[in-house]
Amino acid sequence: MALNKNHSEGGGVIVNNSENVLMTYDHVEITFSDIEPMPEAFKGTKKGSVFLTPYRVIFVSKGKDAMQSFMMPFYLLKDCEIKQPVFGANYIKGTVKAEAGGGWEGSTTFKMTFSAGGAIEFGQRMLQVASQVSRGEIPSGAYGYSYMPNGSYAFAPPAANGGYPYPPPPPDFYPGPPVADGDRGYMQLPPPPYPGPMEPPVSGPDLPSTPAAEAKAAEAAASAYYSPGNPHNVYMPTDQPPPPPYFPPEDKKNQ
């Protein structure tokens, strides 16, 4: 998490040109607790706007507050929850750690209240994007960037490696849906292809099917042996007697 590194002089948000703003809400208040000693910039309630990018959450305050901007990358966030109290506006609560050179040290608990609504929509989208990034996926809508005519988005120079200058979040932050123990860590491969049933032989056009021919075929099938491993040969018994001689029927006219 970095302090006062993501705002422009005109009160806009600064993001890298390799990322874009996925969602933004105004009328957001943020407070901090569980940090000792409490830095001056963290005291009191901050009012401003919150921005969601594919890699982090950025809060930009309005006015001349000591905290002009507050950036929270996903890999430093922990225990984020969406709260819906009976009285008061919905809010997002979580813990964030400081990063090296971020302008402060330690960790703190933040409470981000959406006075005009949007906590559920923003929180669900934030958790979804963080989960996708933790699995190495590209969040939907992460290409290109949105442009606003009032110039509220300023784009910082790209990082030295051309990508986001922060390491990806570890897999224990915002994991994906649980899987069964037997499948954990293993990708189930599809079964190997199996040959389908053998197609019946196609009779030639010059061999009409008759009851006598079918009877002969059944007799041959009963006495022959077919090997699937050698489909081009049919083995016939050697001790089968020759067929009886054929005598054509006598013509009654000649009698």
Domains of the chain, by residue range, sit at 2-169
> Stretch 13-20: mean pLDDT, rounded?
79
pTM of the model: 0.56
Q: Residues 78-101: pLDDT tens digits? A: 999 999 999 999 999 999 998 888
Strand segments (E) across the chain: 2-3, 13-16, 23-33, 46-52, 56-61, 69-73, 77-83, 91-97, 107-114, 153-156, 225-226, 234-235
3-state secondary structure of 215: helix
Q: Residues 50-61: pLDDT tens digits? A: 999 998 999 998
Centre a 10 Å sphere on the Cβ of residue 142 and count the other Cβ atoms it contains: 18
Tell me phi and psi for residue 107, to 5 degrees.
Answer: -145, 160
Handedness of CA 224, 229, 232, 238 (dihedral sign): negative
pLDDT of residue 184: 35
Encoding tokens for residue 210?
């008759």
Q: Right CATH number for 2-169 from 3.30.70.260, 2.60.120.260, 3.40.50.360, 2.30.29.30?
A: 2.30.29.30
What average pLDDT does the chain have?
A: 71
Q: Residues 112-157: pLDDT tens digits? A: 999 999 999 999 999 999 988 888 887 766 654 443 433 444 444 4
